[in-house]
Structure 1
Amino acid sequence: MSQKHQDKPRKNPPHKVILDLSKHINKNVQVHLTGGRQIQGVLKGWDPLLNLVLDEVVEQLRDPVDPYKLSGKQRKLGLLVARGTSVMTIAPVDGLEQIENPFLNKPLV
């Protein structure tokens, strides 16, 4: 190899912010993670890779018999750092309303 290519420092482009969460700082948010976990807590910080820092976190536990249903039980986790690659959805708790699944009892065609 030529000496020219070895001496050049490699520059990575800066990460673009794809989602502005600054309006949700210090507010309750609900986060769905890969693997089906649901957590709720106060958003304290975030970065361009969507790593989240949440405080007063509570996990909604799933039913051990049917993992698609919540058991109604909760587990307190406290301060939590959620890695951006595991975050699927982020929603503010204020105004959050769960609706019934319209496709649940439809016959297969």
Structure 2
Amino acid sequence: MSGRKETVLDLAKFVDKGVQVKLTGGRQVTGTLKGYDQLLNLVLDEAVEYLRDPDDPLKTTDQTRRLGLIVCRGTAVMLVAPTDGTDEIANPFIQSDGA
């Protein structure tokens, strides 16, 4: 085993591709991954933040805010997911009123 630390994630395959990043505190950002380091600090270009619902801070709305080029600090990153190949589906666990 080498003395060099490696991240669990292999982000090299996501460089110059769209990613969705969820941060601690509930913020959610999408953008093009331009770079990263072993501490999971991320550089995103053309970043867009999805604003949260003022009534329920756990939910995001369709409102967005363009941020441009940003650095996401690795200690705040909770999730990194590709934007290509993902679709939003209906929640199968929500009970309908007719059931």
Given the two structures, how large is their TM-score scaled by the length of structure 1?
0.77
Give the number of the structure with larger relative contact order, counting CA–CA contacts within 8 Å between residues 6 or more apart: 2
- Identity over aligned residues, as a percent? 58
The Cα shift of 1:26 comes to 0.5
Matched, 1:38 2:32: no
1:79 pairs with 63, 66, 69, which one? 69
Where in structure 1 do 4 or more consecutive aligned residues deviate above 6 Å? none
Q: Counterparts of 2:32 and 2:81 in 1: how far apart (Å)?
A: 12
Rg: which structure is higher?
1
Structure with greater strand share of residues: 2
Q: Distance in 2 between matches of 1:85 and 1:103?
A: 32
Q: Alignment length, in residue pairs? A: 94
1:59-80 residue CA offsets vs partner (Å, 9 max, x unmatched): 0001111212222100000110
- The aligned residue for residue 98 of structure 1 is 88
Task: Give structure 1 stretches of 5+ with no counterpart.
Answer: 1-12
Instruction: Give the TM-score normalised by the residue count of structure 2.
Output: 0.85
RMSD: 1.7
Distance in 1 separating the partners of 2:23 and 2:94: 22
